[in-house]
């Protein structure tokens, strides 16, 4: 898919085609895990199909293996993803699933000490994901630092006894003015011209990521599952203070609760 499509053509169609194509590919990690998530609920404004990436790319420093599945905002009327529109409630928002499988290096990720989760350990998947994403976006010094303790509560998901974790992190936006290393994804996201957002925010401006995990051990498939959703808080250059998380939390949870699984 040519990289110039992030400037021209039907970005929404590109997103649909890429998501459909990626979904048909079965990765080696997925075969080992033996199941893949199905995103059965899509809120207005979100990509219909998730994208996915081998987790080893994100978590190499912690020797974690598995998969990351994620959705972002689909393209709007301007032919770029609303994820890159600082005036949108879906700016920098995420919905996805980390599946971290047991391997020769790590067993029972996040639950190594027993049935209760280790919140700090579980957040490594999200931290590695954000650092990788910022690096590929061209950020010179990626960072994601927890703000205080995560809250942890019992919950359930599709018959699994699970844990609901919430927390906040200091990090940076991935908005930038040049194509990223994800050139194929650039074509589908629709990266906007810098002139459309530069009056509102600086490239790679700081922000606070607010979000949740729905996490559990899936012993049948020898893996830890973390469904995640996130919004952001930041200050725009026009003096507006923005916090999207309260605006999108309910739709994130609705989509998260709609995630089911297909056995391979």
Domain parsing of the chain, residue ranges: 3-263
The values of phi and psi at residue 227, to 5°, are -80, 135
Cα–Cα distances (Å) from 125 to 60, 67, 130, 201, 243, in that order, read 10, 10, 9, 28, 24
What are φ and ψ of residue 84, in 5° steps?
A: -105, 20
Give per-residue pLDDT as tens, 25-54: 899 999 999 999 999 999 999 998 899 999
Cα-to-chain-centroid distance, residue 136: 14
Confidence grade of residue 56 (pLDDT, cut at 50, 70, 90)? very high
Cα–Cα distance for residue pair 214/132, rounded to 1 Å: 22
Going by C-alpha positions, the residue among 166, 178, 145, 6 that lies closest to residue 75 is 6
Cα torsion 172, 146, 104, 35: sign: negative
Q: Is the pLDDT of residue 127 over 80?
A: yes
pLDDT tens-place string over residues 177-202: 765 544 545 555 667 778 889 999 99
| Helix-strand-coil split of the chain, %, nearest 5 | 30, 30, 40
Nearest-angstrom CA–CA distance, 55 and 37: 15
Query: Does residue 17 have a pLDDT over 60?
Result: no
pLDDT at 19 over 80: no
pTM of the model: 0.90
Summarised one tens digit per residue, pLDDT across range 65-105 is: 999 999 999 876 677 789 999 999 999 999 999 999 999 99
């Amino acid at each position: 898919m040519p990289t110039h499509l992030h400037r021209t053509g039907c970005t929404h169609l590109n997103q649909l085609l890429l998501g459909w194509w990626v979904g048909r590919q079965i990765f080696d990690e997925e075969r080992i895990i033996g199941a893949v998530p199905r995103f059965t609920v899509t809120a207005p404004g979100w990509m219909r199909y998730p994208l996915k990436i081998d987790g080893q790319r994100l978590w190499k420093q912690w020797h974690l293996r598995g998969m990351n599945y994620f959705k972002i905002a689909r393209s709007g009327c301007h032919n770029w993803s609303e994820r890159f529109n600082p005036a949108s409630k879906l700016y920098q928002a995420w919905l996805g699933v980390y599946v971290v499988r047991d391997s020769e290096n790590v067993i029972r990720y996040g639950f190594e000490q027993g049935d209760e989760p280790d919140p700090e350990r579980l957040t490594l998947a999200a931290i590695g994901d954000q650092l990788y994403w910022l690096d590929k976006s061209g950020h010179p010094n990626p960072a994601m630092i927890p703000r205080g303790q995560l809250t942890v509560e019992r919950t359930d998901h599709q018959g699994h006894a699970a844990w609901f974790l919430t927390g906040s992190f200091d990090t940076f936006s991935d908005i930038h003015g040049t194509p990223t290393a994800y050139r194929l994804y650039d074509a589908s996201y629709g990266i906007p011209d810098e002139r459309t957002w530069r009056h509102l925010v600086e490239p790679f401006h700081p922000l606070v990521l607010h979000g949740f995990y729905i996490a559990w051990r899936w012993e049948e498939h020898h893996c830890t599952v973390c469904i995640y959703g996130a919004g952001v808080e930041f200050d725009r250059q026009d003096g507006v203070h923005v916090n999207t998380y309260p605006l999108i939390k309910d739709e994130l949870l609705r989509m998260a609760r709609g995630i089911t699984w297909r056995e391979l």
